[in-house]
């Protein structure tokens, strides 16, 4: 059984791509920064404070805005401690106070005793939740590593797959020489974002380096400039390079959509047979352009098929006739 993803509270305080800065102050429970967050969804439940702690979901960050803080301020000391005890009976990784609000002393004492980090931020509640959610989605997203080449081709992330030695890197290098951008070569790290999107990137230690048989390792950024590389790109098309086999059946019309499953998301797939004399880079570029047209609602194969069927119906209705 797979272990559910989790992230330590301390890791949430570090900046991540596309999440924006969230400046926080740790006022209590610093020893609990290793506590684990297990859900990308935060919770902001006033019911827990009003005597219904069963509404607290384990593994989620608990956010206190103005309504929660004002409620605690209206309670007496004994009731504040009782509320904190009810909260910490559950697996609460940490508590985040937003909008520059200050916690009541009893909450600070309870967090320190329980080892639950109490975090303060001057950011408004809505913005703080959005930034924190972005961090959680980044850390808790489904991830995988694939062997291939990822390029940014006309704004479309194209993942080129195939067996070792089939020419993935050479194809990627040709595309780069035509003005497209390299994201990753050989090892592509993929991450699911927002349920139906997949981002790809390269290993940080070998980013923008490419291995080409006969040349060895080359630095794409140093050779072609900063405009030839891209750090992260959403994947919109998978191209599977395959050895040409005379007896194998390959797509001729493109009427049937093919899909490639990656970390639980289906991506458009093109199977590309490789043979001497075929310009694979040109074919991949055309496949990307065709996919962009499909995204705009135009499918060349279906358009032509529809025209031919219409012509056949007209001829059948008129009793046939010579083609023009």
Q: Is 168 among the catalytic positions?
A: yes
Tokens at residue 298, please?
């135009």
Q: Is residue 226 part of a domain?
A: yes
Range with the poorest average pLDDT among 239-243, 253-257, 305-309: 253-257
Q: Are residues 100 and 237 in the same domain?
A: no
Residue 34 domain-assigned? yes
Question: Bigger pLDDT: 23 or 47?
Answer: 23
Is 76 noted as a catalytic residue in this protein? no
The answer on 175 and 58 residing in a single domain is no
Most confident range, picked from 179-183, 208-212, 291-295: 179-183
Structure token digits, residue 86: 């009810």
106 and 157 inside one domain:
no
CA distances from residue 311 to 83, 252, 255, 304, 314 in whole angstroms, order as listed: 76, 21, 19, 11, 5
pLDDT > 90? residue 86 = no
Dihedral (CA of 191, 194, 198, 199) sign? negative
Residues facing residue 235 across a β-bridge: 157
For residues 140 and 113, the model is more confident at 113
Secondary structure E strands in 133-225: 143-153, 156-161, 181-193, 197-202, 209-212, 216-219
> Is 127 domain-assigned?
yes
Banded pLDDT at 252 (limits 50, 70, 90): low
Bridge partners (DSSP) of residue 186 are 148
At 321 the pLDDT is 53
Split at pLDDT 50, 70, 90, the class of 53 is confident
Q: Which residue has the higher pLDDT, 33 or 46?
A: 33
Any idea what the CATH number is for the domain that residue 190 is in?
A: 3.40.50.300
pLDDT band of residue 310 (cuts 50, 70, 90) is confident
Count of domains for the chain: 2
Same-domain pairing of 124 and 262: no
Pairing between β-strand 259-262 and β-strand 156-161 as defined by DSSP bridges: unpaired
Domain that holds residue 168: 143-243+253-298
Cβ count within 10 A of residue 128: 22
Residue 163 contacts residue 146 (beta carbons within 8 Å)? no
Is 68 a residue whose pLDDT tops 70?
yes
User: Per the residue annotation, which of 76, 252, 256, 322 is the catalytic one?
Assistant: 252
Active-site pick, 91, 109, 142, 186: 186
- Of 35, 60, 168, 191, the catalytic one is 168
pLDDT at residue 256, as a whole number? 77
Instruction: Kindly report, residue by residue over 275-308, the tens digit of the pLDDT.
Output: 887 899 999 999 999 999 998 999 888 888 888 8
Is the same domain home to 153 and 288? yes
User: What are the DSSP E strand ranges found in the chain?
Assistant: 7-8, 25-28, 36-37, 62-64, 95-97, 118-120, 143-153, 156-161, 181-193, 197-202, 209-212, 216-219, 232-243, 259-262, 265-274
Q: Encoding tokens for residue 274?
A: 């490789």
Known active-site residue 186: yes
0.75 exceeded by pTM? no
Distance, CA of 298 to CA of 300 (rounded, Å): 6
Q: Are residues 190 and 258 in the same domain?
A: yes
In a domain, 273, yes or no: yes
Residue 231 in 3-state DSSP? coil
DSSP 8-state secondary structure symbol assigned to residue 158:
E
Last residue of a domain, one of 140, 157, 190: 140
Closest CA to 232 of 134, 132, 133, 157: 157
Position 19 scores a pLDDT of: 64
Per-residue burial over 252-263, b = 16 or more CB atoms within 10 Å of its CB, e = otherwise? eebeeeeebebe
Closest to 236 (Cα-Cα) out of 263, 264, 201, 267: 267
Q: Are residues 134 and 224 in the same domain?
A: no
Mean model confidence pLDDT for the chain: 88
For residue 55, give the nearest of 98, 86, 85, 81 by alpha carbon. Answer: 86
List the beta bridge partners of residue 233: 200
Rounded to the nearest 5 degrees, what angle is found at the Cα of 70, between the Cα atoms of 65 and 75?
135
Distance of CA 139 to the CA centre of its chain: 10
Say if residue 210 is in the same domain as residue 189.
yes
């Amino acid at each position: 059984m797979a272990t559910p993803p989790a992230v330590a509270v301390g890791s949430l305080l570090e900046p991540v791509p596309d999440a924006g800065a969230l400046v926080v102050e740790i006022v209590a429970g610093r020893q609990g920064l290793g506590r684990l967050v297990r859900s990308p969804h935060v919770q902001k439940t006033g019911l827990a404070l009003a005597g219904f702690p069963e509404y607290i979901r384990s593994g989620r960050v608990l956010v206190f805005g103005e309504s929660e803080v004002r409620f605690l301020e209206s309670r007496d000391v004994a009731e504040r401690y009782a509320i904190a005890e009810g909260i910490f009976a559950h697996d609460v990784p940490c508590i985040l106070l937003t909008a520059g609000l200050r916690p009541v002393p009893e909450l600070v004492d309870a967090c320190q005793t329980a080892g639950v980090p109490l975090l303060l931020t001057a950011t408004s509640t809505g913005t703080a939740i959005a930034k924190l959610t972005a961090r959680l989605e980044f850390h808790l997203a489904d991830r995988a590593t694939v062997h291939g080449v990822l390029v940014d081709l006309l704004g479309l992330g194209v993942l080129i797959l195939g067996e070792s030695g089939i020419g993935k890197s050479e194809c990627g290098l040709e595309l780069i020489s035509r003005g497209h951008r390299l994201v990753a070569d050989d090892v592509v790290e993929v991450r699911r974002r927002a349920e139906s999107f997949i981002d790809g990137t390269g290993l940080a230690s070998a980013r923008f380096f490419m291995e080409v048989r006969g040349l060895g390792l080359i630095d794409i950024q140093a050779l072609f400039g900063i405009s030839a590389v891209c750090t992260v790109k959403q994947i919109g098309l998978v191209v599977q390079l395959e050895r040409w086999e005379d007896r194998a059946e390959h797509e001729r019309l493109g009427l049937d959509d093919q899909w490639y499953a990656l970390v639980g998301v289906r991506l458009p797939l093109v199977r590309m047979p490789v043979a001497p004399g075929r310009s694979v880079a040109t074919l991949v570029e055309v496949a990307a352009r065709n996919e962009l047209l499909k995204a705009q609602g135009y499918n060349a194969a279906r358009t032509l098929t529809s025209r031919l069927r219409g012509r056949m119906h007209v001829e059948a209705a008129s009793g046939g006739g010579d083609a023009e």
